[in-house]
Structure 1
Amino acid sequence: MVENCEAVLDSKSAPLHPRVLRPGDAVRLVSPASTPDEQAVEQAVAVLERSGLRVELGRHVFDRYGYLAGRDEDRLGDLNEALRDSTVRAIIATRGGKGAYRIADGLDLAALRADPKPLIGFSEITILHLAMWGGAGVPGIHGACWSAAQFGERAEQSFLRALLTTEAVTIRCEPHEPTSTLTTGGRAEGILLGGNLDMIATAAGWTLPGLQGAILLIEDVEKGLGHVDRNLTRLLKSGALAGVAGVAVGQFTGFASSKGVTVVELLRERLAHLAVPILGGLPFGHGDNPVAVPVGTQAVLDASGGTLTVAAAMR
């Protein structure tokens, strides 16, 4: 029986870490949101097989149903099938896009708790990461953009390190990233939760776990500033961000200014209400060659030193 995916855990819960992957382990590629490009999937398979992993494809990976990778029941079926298969040691989303929010409350959380395995993806996949943490306490990996134009050496190496080792990850603020100017001072510790801002706001009230004591991770791409404003205001006014210990800000890519206001200025004004350490300029999100980072694990945000150190998702 599939449980309702309303969040029952919070940022103070102890993570239920999956086992680190070993050569010969099976990974399953699924498409919980939009249909991937076949060339991108071929690239993903090549990267994984070079690392000694066995790659399997979900039955509906290339389905098309409008802007979705098939019907809701088929996309969810592929994901739950992977959760229930004891031979599958990690689940990798082929892309984001749209539609993961339609199936986030249908995850087989009992299977996930009984056999923890990470979900790897970002953007739209954030809402599934939040549901898996809130319902089962299982960490994931935010990253792995399979677009050939974006998936460079740094992206590949950080993805494989997050999947195949138990090493902590340290990400440094990059001054050329526009959000670097948001950096304040101070230090915070807590479970790192979040990812795509739009999906965090979408999850509020159902799959968003309690964030008290957490470090909030945010990034986004190509939306109107009013949309970003509404998302942050909703999270602030609803109390969803109450007690957040710090904020790690990644790439906000493709945002045009509106009437003289930039997305960085908007973020600064909204995030100031939290009065917590903020570290911007982190190279994860929708930009070129993004770093993969574990989510749902313990992290230390050192805004004064310009670093975010995150414990491994795997054990």
Structure 2
Amino acid sequence: MTLTRRTVIGAAVAGAGSLAAGTPAQAFRPRAAVRPPALRPGDRVRVIAPAGVPDTRLARGIEILESFGLVVEPGEHLYDRYGYLAGTDEARLADLNAAFTDPGVRGVFAARGGYGTQRILDGLDLAAVRRDPRVFVGFSDLTALIGRLWRDARLVGFYGPMVNWTDSRTGPVEIESLRAAIMTTAPIVLTRDPAEPSAAVEVPGTATGTLLGGNLTMLQTSLGTGDLPDLRDAILLFEDTDEGPYSYDRMLTQLRRAGILERVAGIAIGQFTNASGGTGQWTAAQAVQDRVGDLGVPVLGGLRVGHGTGQLTVPLGTPATIDTAAGTLTVRAGVRE
């Protein structure tokens, strides 16, 4: 049976988050999505490291941003190290807030994921974000920051490659995907790649809603915090890396038990990277199909979003449509003129 579920995009979709009405955060939260201005050649952008420590690959990512005509500058503490973190919490938070408060900075790019973003989010200057919205790009551990920016400022974020760049994983097509997402207002269309392990996950149909989500591990660990977006009537996008099939099962089961998945309009699935099960066990795709196949909403897998080769860039926080017959995820531009 083909499932069809159309949702209304507008105030109802962009409405209140899961915090109780009347709380201070709720009082200041905009109701409509905020798309930052598109980046243009000559714009200043800041590279910061809210999580793990970048390495020598950072130079390649900076080179790519400069090839877009952007003026790239490092955060003050970009090259700090504190154990497995890119500097102390105080230093990483200072760079994060400086990037969002400097009026000359029009884009903020995460250097690397890993771990550490959640440790500093409660100190984020959300008033500055609301006052002067700008492009933010990151993925993986930065899912928490993208979620917080959406929940409390309705700022559209960009789920795409970080500046610690690997050409063997993200080549010319992926470079253009990033450029187009942050510098043009053209819609973004991703097509199912049959070679992706998640392509085996499908529930037929079409669905429209606000595209939200990110890394599945980070979505799970954001339960009970201010970082998990309200997924009511949303298209949930998720991906992950280095997780076995049972891990996908466990995380999706927790989201189901928490009542999160019963709210979604549809599900778009990115890359299952380095996911392997034991002999005779389910694959990651089979485990995910078991957990989302009975939700009564369309599910489209096989999208090149995440930690795998060929990672593409998508905005989170704008209207999107999944069409399983066409094998496409079509997303409204995340920036405005």
- TM-score tier after normalising by the smaller chain length: over 0.9
SS at match of 2:203: coil
Could you report, residue by residue, the CA deviation over 1:71-129 in whole angstroms, capped at 9, with x for unpaired residues? 11111110111111110101000111111121222211110011011210111111110
Q: Secondary structure at the match of 2:262?
A: coil
The answer to whether the 8 Å contact 1:105/1:131 transfers is: no
Please name the residue that 2:285 is paired with.
Answer: 264
Q: Pick from 307, 310, 313 the counterpart of residue 286 of structure 1.
A: 307
- How many angstroms apart in 1 are the aligned matches of 2:277 and 2:31? 39
Residue 34 in 1 paired to residue 63 in 2?
no
1:242, 1:174 → 2: CA distance? 27
1:96 aligned partner: 113
CA 1:93–1:80: 2 relative to 1, 3 Å? same
Asked whether 1:20 is paired with 2:20, we answer no
* 1:121 maps onto 2:138 in alignment: yes
Q: CA deviation at 1:224?
A: 3.3
8 Å contact 1:8–1:209 — kept in the other structure? no
Between the aligned partners of 2:234 and 2:300, the Cα distance in structure 1 is 14
Offset of 1:13 from its aligned partner? 4.1
| Cα distance in structure 1, aligned partners of 2:166 and 2:78 | 16
CA–CA separation in structure 2 for the residues paired with 1:33 and 1:130: 15
The letter of the residue matching 1:219 is E
Q: 1:135 to 1:69 in 2, by over 3 A?
A: same
Q: What letter matches 1:37 in structure 2?
A: D
Tell me the matched-pair count.
308
Aligned equivalent of 2:243, options 207, 220, 223: 223
Cα separation, 1, equivalents of 2:302 and 2:234 = 19
Q: Does 1:274 align with 2:295?
A: yes
Partner Cα separation in structure 2 for residue 213 and residue 292 of structure 1: 22
Q: Cα deviation per residue 1:23-67 (whole Å; 9 max; x = unaligned)?
A: 1100100001001112x2111111111111100100111111111
| 2:193 alignment counterpart | 174
Letter in 1 for 2:305: F
Q: Where in structure 2 are the equivalents of 1:27-176 lying within 5 Å?
A: 27-38=45-56, 40-145=57-162, 146-176=165-195
AA paired with 1:158? S
Question: What is the deviation of 1:183?
Answer: 1.9
Q: What letter matches 1:270 in structure 2?
A: R
Residues 141-169 of structure 1 show CA distances to partners (whole Å, capped at 9, x for unaligned) of: 10114123212111100000011111110
* Residue equivalent to 1:184: 203
Any idea what the Cα deviations from partners look like across 1:153-198, whole Å, max 9, x if unmatched? 1110000001111111000001111111112211111110011000
Query: Matches of 1:114 and 1:299 in 2, distance apart?
Result: 26
Kept in 1, the 8 Å contact 2:209–2:235? The answer is yes
Report the aligned-residue RMSD.
1.7
Once the two structures are aligned, what percentage of the paired residues are identical? 45
- SS of residue in 2 equivalent to 1:274: coil
TM-score by length of 2: 0.88
Q: CA deviation at 1:274?
A: 2.0
Q: Could you tell me which amino acid in structure 1 is paired with residue 241 of structure 2? A: V
Query: Which of 201, 217, 231 does residue 220 from structure 2 map onto?
Result: 201
Q: Structure 1 length normalisation: TM-score? A: 0.94
Paired position in structure 1 for 2:274: 254
- Paired with 1:185 and 1:271, the residues of 2 have a C-alpha distance of 12
Residue 307, structure 1, aligned to residue 328, structure 2: yes
* Conserved 8 A contact 2:235-2:266: yes
Q: Which SS does the other structure have where 1:242 is aligned? A: helix
Instruction: List alignment gaps of at least 5 residues for structure 2.
Output: 1-22
Deviations 1:221-267 (A, max 9, x none): 00233332221111110112231000000101101113512111110
Q: SS in structure 2 opposite 1:48?
A: helix
In the alignment, structure 1 segments of 5+ residues that lack a partner are: none
C-alpha distance 7-156 of structure 1, shift in aligned 2 (>3 A): farther
